[in-house]
Amino acid sequence: MKFSEVIGQGELKQKLIQSVIDNRISHAQMFLGNEGNGKLAVALAFAQFIMCENKQQDDSCGECSSCKRIQKLIHPDLHFSYPIINVKSGSGKPKCTDFIEPWRNFINESKGYPTYQGWLSSIEADNKQGNIPISECHDIIHKLNMKSYESEFKILIMWLPEFLGKEGNALLKLIEEPPNNTLFLFVAEDADKILNTIVSRTQIVKVPRLNDEDLSVALKDHGVQDDGQMSSIVRLANGNWNKAKALLNKEVAKATFSQWLANSLNNRPDNIFQDMETISHQPKEEQKDFLLYGLSFFRELLLFVSTNSQHQPNCTDNELILMQKLQSKVTVDSLKKVSKLFDQSHYHIERNANSRILFMNLAIQTKLTLL
């Protein structure tokens, strides 16, 4: 990731770039700030700039072998540590490298703006909580004591060291006296939940909330043109890009669902196929937003129909108009079945079902069930 891909944080970016230029890189830094402010994205861009073979004045080149490997999260001298789960009892001592493929997919999909719950969902943790176990600490010690493969530096990025319990004390000597050109970049949200012995050995880098102007620019880059919609999202997001993106996705899901439903019910094969192609190429989180919005819509419609319009739906004026149009065509039983279809589809998308087949089947089954 290049610094230019990180939303806002201009002053912090310049400080980090200058530290590399001046050869004054602290060997253990903790990027600390609220969720959604881009601290992992900053850490990734910082690591790429450090390892870049052709540094520009204010960013990595993005074209050298090192940059390309880091962008794919496959550079042999860039290591990651993050909360993981024990998949099966008796399956051995878990390490982060056991989850490296889903981690790469997750970070690429989130564009460097991940959430803890999103990560657990991507590895199908169910009710399990993540942690960074002693087996991972031992693996970190082993990897960082080896010679670097390609780069002058070895870098470990640890995301959410809050999940590193007392086992983290095993890393203290390595953090305090690391091998030459070994860097630790901790990415955290709550310093009070991290071992004091680790915090005291790092340089704290405070990553501020995103300002409204930077959020507005990012929303424009994501296709938001309406000033009223942009102002509303920025206000509600309160400096959190993940929240802004969720609010935007909800608006997109509404528009996509309305078009999809009309095409499905009006038997427009070409449009149905186009909708399926469009939705199936969206990131998984946006597909889930679409299904959750559809589920919410049909549940509100179910209450509206079952109470003979006495229930006032929690919806917009346009959604109410659509419900009134559908009211005479649907039954309580058909709405229960369609709600179940959307619920099951959400379940299967979370477990990596083929999205093209799933959304085509959903369109066909919705039409057959409702009409």
- pLDDT tens-digit series, residues 311-357: 777 777 778 888 888 888 889 999 999 999 999 999 998 888 898 99
Tell me the two tokens of residue 138.
Answer: 């031992």
- In the predicted structure, residue 267 carries a pLDDT above the cut 80: no
User: What is the dihedral angle through the alpha carbons of 185, 186, 189, 195, rounded to the nearest 10 degrees?
Assistant: -150
State the average pLDDT over residues 72-84.
Answer: 96
Domains along the chain with CATH numbers: 3-208 (3.40.50.300), 240-370 (1.20.272)
Rounded to 5°, the CA angle 267-272-276 comes to: 155
Residue given tokens 């050298």 in the structure block: 64
pLDDT-based confidence at 127, cuts 50/70/90? confident
Tell me the two tokens of residue 205.
Answer: 């880098």
CB-based contacts of 130: which residues, under 8 Å, 6+ apart? 82, 83, 84, 85, 116, 119, 120, 160, 163
Nearest CA to 132 out of 99, 84, 91 is that of 84
pLDDT-based confidence at 225, cuts 50/70/90? confident
Measured CA to CA, the distance from residue 170 to residue 173 in angstroms comes to 7
pLDDT-based confidence at 371, cuts 50/70/90? confident
Strand 203-206 with 182-188, pairing: unpaired
Measured CA to CA, the distance from residue 52 to residue 267 in angstroms comes to 53
Nearest CA to 143 out of 173, 179, 102, 188 is that of 179
State the average pLDDT over residues 27-45.
Answer: 96
pLDDT-based confidence at 102, cuts 50/70/90? very high
- 333 contacts 296 by C-beta, under 8 angstroms: no
For residue 183, the SS3 value is strand
Task: State residue 90's pLDDT score.
Answer: 53
State the average pLDDT over residues 227-246.
Answer: 89
**In 145-240, which ranges are continuous DSSP H helix?**
172-176, 196-199, 212-221, 227-237
pLDDT-based confidence at 6, cuts 50/70/90? very high
Measured CA to CA, the distance from residue 280 to residue 330 in angstroms comes to 27
Which residues are 204's β-sheet partners?
Answer: 30
Tell me the two tokens of residue 14.
Answer: 């310049």
Measured CA to CA, the distance from residue 367 to residue 371 in angstroms comes to 6
- If you compute the radius of gyration of the chain from its CA atoms, what whole number of angstroms results? 24
Higher pLDDT, 76 or 86: 76
Task: State residue 62's pLDDT score.
Answer: 94
State the average pLDDT over residues 363-367.
Answer: 88
State the average pLDDT over residues 168-183.
Answer: 94
Out of 26-35, 226-235, 290-299, 325-334, the most confident range is 26-35
Nearest CA to 121 out of 360, 342, 283 is that of 283
pLDDT in tens, 90-101: 556 899 999 999
- In the predicted structure, residue 180 carries a pLDDT above the cut 70: yes
State the average pLDDT over residues 47-72.
Answer: 96
**Percentage of residues of the chain with pLDDT beyond 70:** 98
**Long-range pairs for 294-300 at CB < 8 Å and ≥24 separation?**
294/257, 294/261, 294/342, 295/339, 295/342, 295/343, 295/346, 297/257, 298/335, 298/338, 298/339, 298/342, 299/339
- In the predicted structure, residue 23 carries a pLDDT above the cut 70: yes
Task: State residue 173's pLDDT score.
Answer: 94
Measured CA to CA, the distance from residue 2 to residue 59 in angstroms comes to 6
Rounded to 5°, the CA angle 73-78-81 comes to: 85
User: Exposed/middle/buried for 142, CB within 10 Å: 0-12, 13-18, 19+?
Assistant: exposed
**Long-range pairs for 333-341 at CB < 8 Å and ≥24 separation?**
334/369, 334/370, 335/298, 335/301, 335/302, 335/305, 335/370, 336/302, 337/369, 338/298, 338/366, 338/369, 338/370, 339/295, 339/298, 339/299, 339/302, 341/365, 341/366, 341/369
Task: State residue 89's pLDDT score.
Answer: 53
The rounded mean pLDDT for the chain is: 90
Tell me the two tokens of residue 365.
Answer: 């089954």
Measured CA to CA, the distance from residue 137 to residue 159 in angstroms comes to 13
Task: State residue 183's pLDDT score.
Answer: 97
Measured CA to CA, the distance from residue 83 to residue 162 in angstroms comes to 9
